[in-house]
Copies of this chain bind each other. A is one copy, B any other.
Amino acid sequence: MIAPGKTIGILGGGQLGRMLAMAAARLGYKSHIYCPEENSPAFHVSADYTVAAYEDEDALKAFAKSVDVVTYEFENVPAETARIVSNHAPLAPGSLALKVAQDRLVEKDFLNESGVKTAPYKSFDTKEELETALATIGRPAVAKTRRFGYDGKGQHVVKSKADLDDAYEAMNGQPAILEGFIKFDREISVIVARLESGDVAAFPVSENVHTHHILDETQVPAAIKEIVEAKAKVMATRIANALEYVGVLTVEMFVTDETGDIIVNEIAPRVHNSGHWTIEGATTSQFEQHIRAICSLPLGPEHAVGKIRMKNLLGEDILDAEKYLSDPTAYFHHYGKKEPRAGRKMGHVTFVEKE
């Protein structure tokens, strides 16, 4: 057990790191944030911070030596960064989770080997391989770079053969995969926490609505049958176990239209935007649960306190602060970012309708 009073190192200083640090603080942990960007949101709520590149070996060493455990707020932590850090402090979640989550091909292979269903997929490097893949997968399909894709970046839909050139160009020479297009009824996510001891707790399944590839709203409970909810949790738990995971893991899934079947879309080895509702909407937040898990504390109770709706505040949405602060059902969160650029995640608001 890493006891309250110890120090948690967090790679990444955005809103996820910030909310992790705030949850850690309630339990008495100090946070040390490592982030290349000056004035990062997480710095404002932490005992210490380091501004340095993820390639800066000396800074990474000093950081890891100053803390009792290291975690991260983003899945694209370079493997070399993870290796350096883990020479000096335990890293949770571990490097397998990073390896799997960083590469769509490795991820899909891993998920299928774990007995979890994904969209059909095939990797490609050349345009010829893309053509062959399309013949196998069928249309429509989505070409995606294997690495560094988020919020819809590095993706291109292929509806007809005429789209092949554009799709190939969109990959920008990166290794890629072609995925079968999944016609889905609902998009859900399961946030599951796992201790090193093997204890697992899954939050209630949330239903997510994306707009322009960015999460707009999360609702709990998801409008799915009990059996589907149970199945989704079993699948997330299976993945966490297969990864010998420590911490909070997010599994995004599609509930398909025709069959009520579940397809896993992707995993994120971290707390997730679709889990922000847990701060006021669940008895333990995803952030606290992650801190508990990486410190080997007992997991907290994970049930929802009512009907919850979380809405992201993008760009100038954040200027509506007073409206939300006047609403007795709303919990307003502001990430302390200075410039409300269009599409930037500036905060969120959670509406709680108590049972």
Contact = CB atoms under 8 A, between A and B. Distances in A.
Contacts of A283: 328
Interface in A254-312: 283, 292, 297-298, 300-301, 305
A128 interface: no
* Chain multiplicity (copies): 2
B298 A322 contact: yes
A47 to B, nearest CB: 4
Given A25-B22, A44-B46, A45-B25, A325 B298 contact: yes
A325 to B, nearest CB: 5
A332 interface: yes
B5 A322 contact: no
Interface stretch (A146-154, A213-221, A237-245, A333-341): A333-341
Interface stretch (A26-34, A68-76, A77-85, A112-120): A26-34
A283 B352 CA distance: 10
A43 interface: yes
Contact of A321 (B4, B25, B47, B354): B4
Contacts of A305: 354
A112 B343 CA distance: 57
B334 A27 contact: yes
Interface residues of A, number: 40
A211 interface: no
A326 interface: yes
A347 interface: yes
Interface in A1-59: 1, 3-5, 18, 21-22, 25-31, 43-47
Given A297-B322, A328-B300, A334 B4 contact: yes
Contact of A26 (B5, B29, B322, B334): B334
A48 to B, nearest CB: 9
Contacts of A321: 3-4, 27-28, 297
Contact of A45 (B45, B292, B335, B354): B45
A332 to B, nearest CB: 7
Contacts of A30: 44, 336
A305 B333 CA distance: 21
Contacts of A332: 4, 26-27
A281 B209 CA distance: 31
Nearest to A280: B283
Contact of A336 (B1, B28, B45, B333): B28
B336 A25 contact: yes
Nearest to A354: B305
B301 A334 contact: no
A153 B347 CA distance: 45
Contacts of A22: 22, 25-26, 45
Contacts of A3: 321
Nearest to A48: B44
A132 to B, nearest CB: 51
Interface of A: 1, 3-5, 18, 21-22, 25-31, 43-47, 283, 292, 297-298, 300-301, 305, 318, 321-322, 325-326, 328, 332-336, 338, 347, 354
17 contacts: A1-B322, A4-B318, A4-B321, A5-B334, A22-B25, A22-B26, A25-B44, A25-B336, A26-B334, A28-B321, A43-B47, A45-B45, A45-B47, A297-B322, A297-B325, A298-B322, A298-B326
